[in-house]
Chains A and B, each alone.
Chain A
């Protein structure tokens, strides 16, 4: 039992620290919340350290099959913490610049991270659900944190209602699967699904699976469960959008993998078909609708939807390599998305968010370096070598072909070309157009440094993708 608790050490420390920071935040008189901020960052670093420290050599299942620590969870947890660390770097700058800084942003963020860590390590339906709810509730509150403009409240309301609906779906699916298998932990469920020959049980399992997939689709923002994504992305403060579009996606991968691959691999043929529909619809809708957007946050929202479609390709292939491909995809996506929103934050000023495409006009004149970073990010999102985004698309498409779905791969690449158009448009605005103003940016040195690092990382992974690919393969156990 003691060893079980040690396995949870990172989560426990994170929770404790989050509570301490919450209390400290209320009593500190610090105007720009520097204490809260730095403590939060320190907590994240400490958590990473503990994750590495307590990482077991092989898979360990604890708490009667509810909690698992395996190489995949370790990699995902570290990535989630590091991504959040960078996100907070950007956010702190944003919140200070727009004078809407509140300690709750960081505290809620830490709780969300806790939820994501639990999701990554979940070995039973209940733990998954618990982690997911902790994450979602924190995010709802974060979106709603700033009541002005009114779009933020609207976004929060929408997010909450639809999110609750999705959770309901998921829970319904979970209850059905529990009803059939009599078990909550994924291992027993997997065993049951593998062995059952009873037609009724199989039917009920598939029925439960449908609701699980709907729940997953909602959380990922896959078409046709994507309605909330653009409104939330546009309505929420950029710092929150930045957070929503990065780390939680990685956690969503964990959830998808645990439920479908760990738990219900036996129903591969069933969920493969469902995901295929979601994937193609997402790629089509996301890429096509993004073309007509004028607000860059909204454009990136549709681009996320399209990326989710690509991400699902790896899951569809149903092999360990495929899952590793999805994992790789989502990590690269988080890095790119982080950078893009970082640039939006960099360009914004107090009272004027730089969230329309026109704000990017002539950026190459105003700041060649950050225009170059954005150029890297946009081409990377479009999937053009020599950038990281190429390898992530390459990886999932490769696995889809390896699993025999060549037509699906052909559809995917066509949509990636359609998608390239709106990324090119951002480059066009930055490089081919004249700037509307030459106002200098207001951003801290740290922010500038981290943002540059972010962009260069995307470029470097493009040249040396081998290490990260091997890491993902090893994490999945392929």
Chain B
């Protein structure tokens, strides 16, 4: 199929314009607003599927490239393009947005048009982040994303929403501005903001180290890594369900995407120099945060910590490649780790999204996120319990679900670099099982804990549909992840060949 559409521009601007239209419609026409928003999100998803159908999986080059001059004076271009790393994340974004809009259907009680508009605009901006080939364009979308998210948490969030949202905003803003300084510094040397040019430009090790740290501040906050993760539990807990889903499923991936698009290829020597630090921080996230998750009494907080722990896997996979390559002198193990990390990001998008939706389902009925408020939910909500069991298992990394694929590859890869790293990383399978299943047991199993639980009604068609779609996705790609790997294989290999070359020369 060759449609020759400007897919990427459509993916960015359709939801944004749709969102503006929704804002214009206002709160008076609630039903129209909802239906229209849903249609826009489906349209965007279909567009992204068409892009996927058109996508050439044999090359690592940027595809669907659009190049227009934006700011002539400084050679900044409206330059879009995607490769095998960006495409899966765009698909994840468009897919998640539909579910998010559906999930909010009957739940949001006030300012519904603003709510829908915020999510549609957010979707467009997130697509923009993944599709930008110009660093300033990337930064433009990256920062602009904060505004809708700030409003989503602040307007529709829980009791401590103001604290959480301001913390979220300032934390991520602080991280990002250093990235801007690094980008501007590189521009002063290379005279270009195009990401491929930045990846190709030579940089001394000292420069690379400073640039790496600047990038690290931006991406580590976003993904988030220990110890700059503290905004995440607050933001997750206070955000409305839909906000938590987008935050966990997509926005965290931006940090990972930043590492793989900026840190690794632009500063490969510094990445190598700092790799043991990054591995240690990742392992701390995996193990320590796993323990932290274990003691949470709030379900959302527990899932938030489990997200941080899972993201530890992503950063581990990214930064362990140097030591794998150094020990084995063979690219296959390292490429496997990188692919595992990517897979982990996508899988976590599905699973954490599903987990937050499950908590949302309970919260809509009981208005409590405390584990202790529940017990014996299986008695009143059997269908829901079945779905949640699947997602809990996937969260723990059960084989047959997507949760397993990524973790397994990363562990397998890291084994080649050293037994103890693999051992510590593999602890997550136990930790994950412990906190996920224990929470499940306390919430779902047992006798009916109180009269509120006894009055629960099982999930309705809308909720069943959302969870079923996610369940199928988790299972299908858990058993047959080949399409995803196929998509990213050439780009990952190309990336790997790039990062093992020193740029200091």
- Listed in ascending order, the chain A residues whose CB lies under 8 Å from chain B are 368, 379, 384-386, 390, 394, 397-398, 401-402, 406, 409-410, 413-414, 416-417, 420-421, 424-425, 427-428, 431-432, 465-466, 469-470, 473
Q: Does B105 reach chain A (CB closer than 8 Å)? A: no
Fill in one digit per residue for B42-79: 1 if any A CB lies within 8 Å of its CB, else 0: 00000000000000000000000000011111100000
Q: Are B187 and A398 in contact (CB under 8 A)?
A: yes
- Measured between beta carbons, the chain B residues less than 8 angstroms from A398 are 74, 184, 187-188
Q: Are B177 and A417 in contact (CB under 8 A)?
A: yes
What are 7 pairs between A and B in contact, CB < 8 Å? A409-B184, A414-B177, A417-B170, A420-B170, A421-B170, A466-B72, A469-B73
What CA separation (Å) do A390 and B173 show in the bound complex?
Answer: 12
Q: Are B143 and A390 in contact (CB under 8 A)?
A: yes
Judged by DSSP, the binding face of A is: helix
* Pick from A386, A414, A424, A432: contact of B174, CB under 8 Å: A414
* Pick from A413, A425, A470: contact of B181, CB under 8 Å: A413
* Pick from A420, A421, A428, A466: contact of B71, CB under 8 Å: A466
Q: Does B185 reach chain A (CB closer than 8 Å)? A: yes
What CA separation (Å) do A437 and B58 show in the bound complex?
Answer: 62
Q: Are B166 and A424 in contact (CB under 8 A)?
A: yes
Q: Are B72 and A470 in contact (CB under 8 A)?
A: yes
Q: Are A420 and B162 in contact (CB under 8 A)?
A: no
Top 6 closest pairs, chain A to chain B, by CB: A413-B177, A466-B71, A385-B140, A402-B188, A417-B174, A432-B154
Identify which of B89-97, B145-153, B229-237 touches chain A.
B145-153
Q: List B residues 179-197 near A (Cβ within 8 Å).
A: 180-181, 184-185, 187-188
Q: Are A432 and B170 in contact (CB under 8 A)?
A: no
Q: Are A384 and B146 in contact (CB under 8 A)?
A: yes
Q: Are B184 and A428 in contact (CB under 8 A)?
A: no
Q: Are B188 and A431 in contact (CB under 8 A)?
A: no
Q: Are A401 and B185 in contact (CB under 8 A)?
A: yes
Q: Are B146 and A421 in contact (CB under 8 A)?
A: no
Q: Does B387 reach chain A (CB closer than 8 Å)? A: no
Residue of A nearest to B153 (CB): A432
- Measured between beta carbons, the chain A residues less than 8 angstroms from B170 are 417, 420-421, 424
- Measured between beta carbons, the chain B residues less than 8 angstroms from A414 are 174, 177
Q: How many CB-defined contacts (below 8 Å) exist between A and B?
A: 88
What CA separation (Å) do A469 and B72 show in the bound complex?
Answer: 9
Q: Are B166 and A386 in contact (CB under 8 A)?
A: no
* Pick from B70, B143, B144, B150: contact of A466, CB under 8 Å: B70
- Measured between beta carbons, the chain B residues less than 8 angstroms from A432 are 154-155, 161-162, 165
Q: List B residues 126-178 near A (Cβ within 8 Å).
A: 136, 139-141, 143-144, 146-147, 150-151, 154-155, 161-162, 165-166, 169-170, 173-174, 177-178
Fill in one digit per residue for B112-127: 1 if any A CB lies within 8 Å of its CB, else 0: 0010000000000000
* Pick from A406, A409, A413, A421: contact of B166, CB under 8 Å: A421
What CA separation (Å) do A394 and B141 show in the bound complex?
Answer: 14
- Measured between beta carbons, the chain A residues less than 8 angstroms from B114 are 368
What CA separation (Å) do A416 and B173 show in the bound complex?
Answer: 9
CB distance from A351 to the nearest CB of B (A): 31
* Pick from B147, B161, B181: contact of A397, CB under 8 Å: B181
What CA separation (Å) do A385 and B70 show in the bound complex?
Answer: 15
Known interface pairs A384-B143, A401-B188. Does A465 touch B166 (Cβ–Cβ under 8 Å)?
A: no
- Measured between beta carbons, the chain B residues less than 8 angstroms from A390 are 140, 143
CB distance from A181 to the nearest CB of B (A): 35
What CA separation (Å) do A394 and B143 show in the bound complex?
Answer: 13
Q: Are A424 and B150 in contact (CB under 8 A)?
A: yes
Q: Are A384 and B144 in contact (CB under 8 A)?
A: yes
What CA separation (Å) do A161 and B330 show in the bound complex?
Answer: 76
- Measured between beta carbons, the chain B residues less than 8 angstroms from A470 are 72-73
What CA separation (Å) do A428 and B147 show in the bound complex?
Answer: 12
What CA separation (Å) do A432 and B136 show in the bound complex?
Answer: 31
Residue of B nearest to A464 (CB): B70
